[in-house]
Structure 1
Amino acid sequence: MSASGVSIAVRTTPVASVLSRPFAPSPVAPALVLRQAAPRRTKIWEFNTNLHCSIIGTCLSTHDLRQILKKLGLAAQHHTDHELHGIAVSLAARHDDAARHLHKALDQRHKLAVSQFGRAASEDALRTLWQGGVQGGDIPGAYWATLTHPHATQTLIREAFGEVHMLSHLVGSANRADIRRLRALEVEKAELELKVQRQQQALHDAVIHRDAQIAALRQALEDRMIAEAAAPSSPHEAALSGLIADRERRLAAEANRRAALEERLATVRTERDRERCGRVAAEQAREALRLELAAVEASLPAIGSADNGIRLDGLTLLYVGGRPNQVAHMRVMVEALGGVLLHHDGGVENHQSLLPGLASRCDMAAFPVDCISHDAATTVKALCHRAGKHFIPLRSAGVTSLLAALQTLAEQAMPEQAME
Structure 2
Amino acid sequence: MRIQTGAGLHGTRLSPLPLRMIEPQLDLASQGRARRTRIWELSNHLHCSIVGTCLSTAELRQVVAKTGPAADGSSEHDLHHRGVTLAGQRDGAAKLLHKALDRKHRAAIARFDKAGTVDEVRTEWREAVKRGDIPGGYWAAMTHPAASDALVREVFGEVHMLSHLVGAANRADIRKLAELEAENDRLRAKLARQQDQLRDGLTRRDARIQELNDLLARRIGEEAAAGQPDDASERAALEGLVASLEQRLRSEGNRRIAVEERLARRTEELAREREQHAASRHQEAVLREELEAIEPDIASQAAEGEASPASLAGLSLLYVGGRTDRLGHLRTLSEQRGVTFLHHDGGVDDRSGLLAGLVSRADVVMFPVDCVSHEAVTIVKRLCRQTAKRYVPLRSSGTSSYVAALARSAGERTDRHQASI
TM-score range, shorter chain: 0.3 to 0.5
TM-score between the two structures when normalised by the length of structure 1: 0.40
